Structure 1
Amino acid sequence: MTQAFSQTAFSPTPQASQLPTMPTGWPIGSYATYAEAQRAVDHLADKNFPVQDVTIVGVDPLLVERVAARLTWGKVLGSGAMSGAWFGLFVGLLLSLFTPGAGLTPILIGLLSGVAFGMAFAAAGYAATRGRRDFISHSQLVATRYDVLCQPRNAEAGRDLLAQLAMSSGRGF
């Protein structure tokens, strides 16, 4: 093993860019939604502001889980059949392409097998929950507010530009 290989591939200290770090900078604006914070940074970019000094920070994060529908055996089996059908169709197409003179037989066999296995695996997964989670939901990470931070060397200029944006749109920040 060479010295260069041991230092780069198995370095005991990971690179700083791979580790989570706390944001730094001075607050130059605070917004109720992420879209407003994005709009503010876009305004800074439009004014040739050095946006590499800017960070958007979500403050007081919340995990919001929105329930979309009730989960039933019919939905579980239907979903399993559909995902299995796609996979089976893909496998069947590959088999038919690489088997001379096979015709549609591999496609049909792949499709039917995929449906059967998809339903079986979906049913096994749903049965394993034993009714503890009979709903479909979507999780989202949101914040109560979004602060725009800027490195001190440009913070005052950034704050002035965002104040102009707030005055032109009739909103405070």
Structure 2
Amino acid sequence: MLVVLGSLPGTGKTTIARIAASRLRAAYIRIDAIEQAMRSAGVLARPDGVGPAGYMAAYALAKENLRLGLPVVADCVNPLPETRAAWREAAAPLPIVEVEVVCSDPAEHRRRVEARTADLPGLVPPTWASVLRHEYAPWTGPRLVLDTASLGAEDAASRVCGEAAGLCAG
């Protein structure tokens, strides 16, 4: 089973994804870590020029772990219908839990973004202005929506794990 958490930066998805991955004993795939490793390796023509390469690497890692029979939790912005479809393709024929994490309180979302510190060497956290400019298409398909303005990370992770357990049981 593949669990994909997507959202704009600063909503709490990484915290939730880490808790869920630990509880599910799942492989954890974080796009930020993949993309920062590519930047740090110096293999990019431009430091901001990761493009789709990080997602392509993540899809491949997810497929390999799923092939081994491991559950996978993916942590990414997942901003476009194309990225969402690619995750579903990576999971097939196994179940997928798609999760959109939102923070419906703009002031709280901004506070979180502005208070962030990098947890990966070399990673520069986004600014509030860059979050507002981020390409992010509205979701149209079925998904679990978690609003972290009113839901704590532990409870949100419990909802993710409950959804995952329901798919595995049924």
Q: Give the TM-score category using the shorter length.
A: under 0.3
Q: Whose Rg is larger? A: 1
Of Structure 1 and Structure 2, the greater strand share is in: 1
Of Structure 1 and Structure 2, the greater helix share is in: 1
TM-score (norm 1): 0.22
